[in-house]
Amino acid sequence: MIIGAAVKATDQSIPDWGRWTLAGTALAAAAVLGIAVLIGPAARRLAGERQPLTQDERQQMTATERVEAVNAARQTLIQAATGLVVIGGVVFTAQGLWYTAQSLNTSQQAQRTAEQGQITDRYVKAVEQLGATKMNVRLGGIYALERIAQDSPRDHQTVYDVLAAFVRERDRKSVDEKDQSSFDPAADAQAALTIIGRRNGTRDVSALDLSRSPIYGADLERANLRGVNLFNANLDSADLNGADLTGANLTGTQLEGAFLVGANLTHAILHGNLKGAHLDEANLTEADMRTGGLAEAYLTGANLTGANLTGANLTGANLVGANLVGANLSGAYLYGANLKSVQGITESEIRKVARVDTTTKF
């Protein structure tokens, strides 16, 4: 019976409550059998008795001994019954706790599944809003995507990849090239850039792609652009003051007239295809550009006051008229660089700290 109940308790076709009832019954029956053995044969063997008392042996007992034997038997039965109650309570308490834990786990799984379903629905709706004709609808979709990235860390990369693609492909109003430096990005493109700039970068799985983005004049002050791909992007006149561009790919990036006061360009790649990065007239005051790849970069008239260019690769860079007051050029590579009319530092001072050769122009 006990074995049969235990076997049936493993039958997955029986409901959970049924299987646990069978398992509890089997455990209770096993406990009763065990106690019966302990207070019967096991107790007599422990007392030195090998056989139950015979009728003659019982008749030889005095009245007092018989009363004591009855009382001892009653006490043993009461203790056995108490033990059964305790064992039963422990078994069913354990069952209740396990069943509660299982139910809670199932409930949590169902809740997570429901939450993921809701996030998926929100994501689909937000992406649809990005293609709306009305600006306010597109803005709603952009901010909805940011909320999804915050609520669901596993969707972080997907959300920001979508926002980066939106910025890259955003249709821009036609604008005269002469006036583009004063042209501000569309409100939705700026909103997407603002959200990208304040994201939790520790959740990034791969670098965001803003290559070839026409985002001149964008407000990216103190933006988190670590490792972002800005290859051939147009950031002319953009506000990048205090922005973190550590390790960013600025190959061929247009940065003419950009504001980069206090920006961090450590390990940034600015070496371009033929022409190099355009940083003419850019404000790079106190910018951190240590070991930066600035080969062939255009820095004509750039303000590099207090900039850290330690070990930077400025091979072939155009620094004509650049302001280098307080700039740190220790170990900087200036082979073939054009340093004519630079301000704030003399040729002899440059030769003492930087790497120059016969092709360097002073």
Q: Residue 265: CA atoms inside 13 Å, Cβ hemisphere, count? A: 34
Cα separation, 1 vs 28, whole angstroms: 12
Q: What was the pLDDT predicted at 141?
A: 93
Cα separation, 186 vs 184, whole angstroms: 7
Cα separation, 346 vs 338, whole angstroms: 14
Q: What was the pLDDT predicted at 224?
A: 95
Q: What was the pLDDT predicted at 19?
A: 64
Q: Is 219 helix (H, G, I), strand (E, B) or coil?
A: strand
**pLDDT tens digits in sequence order for the chain, 362 residues long:** 545 544 454 555 666 656 666 666 666 676 666 666 555 555 555 444 555 656 666 566 666 765 565 566 557 666 766 766 676 677 667 666 766 666 666 666 766 666 666 878 888 899 899 988 899 999 999 999 999 999 888 899 999 999 999 999 875 543 444 444 445 788 899 999 999 999 999 999 999 999 999 888 999 999 999 999 998 898 888 999 999 998 888 887 888 888 888 888 877 776 543 345 677 788 888 888 776 677 888 888 888 999 888 988 889 989 999 999 999 999 999 999 999 999 999 999 999 999 999 999 99
Q: What was the pLDDT predicted at 117?
A: 67
Residue 149: alpha-carbon gap to chain centroid: 10
Cα separation, 4 vs 80, whole angstroms: 25
DSSP E strands: which ranges in the chain? none
Q: What was the pLDDT predicted at 294?
A: 77
Q: What was the pLDDT predicted at 349?
A: 93
Q: What was the pLDDT predicted at 45?
A: 54
Give pTM, 2 decimals: 0.61
Q: What was the pLDDT predicted at 183?
A: 57
Closest to 163 in 3D by CA, of 115, 217, 213: 213
- Give pLDDT tens digits for 248-278: 888 878 888 888 888 888 777 765 433 456 7
* Distance, first Cα to last Cα, the chain: 102
Structure letter (DSSP) for residue 264 = B
Surface-to-core class of residue 23, CB atoms within 10 Å of its CB (0-12 exposed, 13-18 middle, 19+ buried): middle
Q: What was the pLDDT predicted at 179?
A: 46
Contact yes or no for 299/322 (Cβ under 8 A): yes
Q: What was the pLDDT predicted at 265?
A: 80
